Chains A and B, each alone.
Chain A
Amino acid sequence: MRTIKILGTGCAKCKQTEAAVRDVLDKEGIVADVIKVEDIQQIMAYNILSTPAVVVDEVVKIKGKVPSAQEILAALS
């Protein structure tokens, strides 16, 4: 199973991102493990400068913005 991590310190944009990702997974019928990472030390391990970020199987796919449905799909493919 794929693991999707949402990195963000808990601001509004990060919550929007999590909701957007879950939405896409539901609609497409994709089963994946969605983990919200809020700890700043863990977040920084991914070497990003801006949150929210979406990490698919330990690869940073999206950072610094709330992604659109297409972007999420692209990140998953």
Chain B
Amino acid sequence: MFDWLQSFADWLIYQVIGIGTESRLGVALSFFVYDVLKILILLFLITVLMGIVNAYFPVERLRDFLNKRKLYGLEYFFASFFGAITPFCSCSSVPLFIGFVQGGIPLGVTFAFLITSPLVNEIALAIFLGMFGIKFTLIYAITGILLGMLGGMVLGKLNLERFLSDWVQQLIQNKNKVQEGFESEKAPFLKRLPHITQEAWGIVKSIVLYVIIGIAIGAFMHGYVPENFFEEYLGDGQWWTVPLAVILAVPLYANAAGIIPVIQVMVVKGIPVGTAIAFMMATIGLSIPEGTLLKKVMSMKLIAIFFGTVAFFIILSGFIFNMVFTTL
């Protein structure tokens, strides 16, 4: 699918700039140009796709959908699934959380959405697809959605409402005053498409720098970190690498654009896939800045329970990945 891009990168580096095909620098640069362009193209396409879905199924509609129907447990699936396809900005997590709870959606279902939303998003998927291929991306997305569902179900069972901030509890009590539905835009598809592509372009532009830095670090590690370097320390059979990776990842606040290219190289250099994915999920799904945002609506105890549950499921999926992919 991307052969033409490789030809272009080769042509640019070897012909136009004139670095020899034999030199290490030339090979690295050609890889770099190829990777950056490929990922930017995927990013743009997937962002447009998500933008289209979102234009027809905004979060307001999801809230109404979850609220008005009896879904017999499937609401966890829907919340998690739509968390995956909704563009996510961590600054929206608090309004979203309150809006859901206020709209009468159970806390557990709201958590399902909140867990999956940062884990599986258009940026993570595009870069995953570019670096690891389709099979891996699907497995990652499905795991992320399952993780949100299970996490939401567990948290829902714990009756955590009492740990919400007082003013949020009050909101829940007089929740009937909201619910006026939402006004959907009725503009025809062709009229909305330019706007959607424009927004997608905006998203791509805003993370271009992270992609380039991430791939540059990856390319550097590719060339200078010895093969199987990590394997010696963190390789097979070391079960504790998964929880360790998660613990190390929580204070880190990196976005998917920067972290995935680095993760990819780590996998190539011998870190088990599950450990790497657990690390990545914990970096983007559990972050201290997000925790401080949530402090406005939850007690510390609830944040700790929330983070603990999510961390537990991330570790669990790390183990499962390691078991499934020992042959890779």
Q: Which of chain B's residues have a CB closer than 8 A to the CB of A9?
A: 91, 94-95, 293
A41, B99: Cα distance in complex, Å: 11
Residue of A10, A14, A44, A48 ringed by the most chain B CB atoms within 10 A: A44
Indicate if the CB atoms of A64 and B91 lie closer than 8 Å. Answer: no
A44, B63: Cα distance in complex, Å: 15
A49-B59, A68-B198 known; A44+B98 contact, CB < 8 A = yes
Categorize the interface residue count of chain B: 20 to 34
User: A-side binding surface: helix, strand, loop or mixed?
Assistant: loop
Separation in Å of the B292 CB from the closest CB of chain A?
Answer: 11
Residue of A nearest to B178 (CB): A47
Indicate if the CB atoms of B98 and A40 lie closer than 8 Å. Answer: yes
Q: Which of chain B's residues have a CB closer than 8 A to the CB of A47?
A: 99, 178, 180
A28, B173: Cα distance in complex, Å: 45
Q: Which of chain A's residues have a CB closer than 8 A to the CB of B60?
A: 49
Indicate if the CB atoms of B296 and A44 lie closer than 8 Å. Answer: no
Separation in Å of the A16 CB from the closest CB of chain B?
Answer: 9
Separation in Å of the B26 CB from the closest CB of chain A?
Answer: 37
A13, B91: Cα distance in complex, Å: 8
**A43 touches B (CB below 8 Å):** yes
Residue of A13, A64, A65 ringed by the most chain B CB atoms within 10 A: A64
A52, B92: Cα distance in complex, Å: 8
Separation in Å of the A61 CB from the closest CB of chain B?
Answer: 11
Indicate if the CB atoms of A44 and B171 lie closer than 8 Å. Answer: yes
Q: Which of chain B's residues have a CB closer than 8 A to the CB of A1?
A: none
Separation in Å of the A28 CB from the closest CB of chain B?
Answer: 21
Interface string of A42-54 (1 = CB under 8 A from B): 0110011111100
Q: Which of chain A's residues have a CB closer than 8 A to the CB of B95?
A: 9, 40, 43-44, 48-51
Residues of A within 8 A of B (CB): 8-14, 40-41, 43-44, 47-52, 64-66, 68
16 sampled A-B residue pairs with Cβ under 8 A: A8-B91, A9-B293, A11-B91, A13-B89, A14-B91, A43-B95, A44-B95, A47-B180, A48-B99, A49-B96, A49-B100, A50-B59, A50-B95, A51-B92, A51-B95, A52-B91
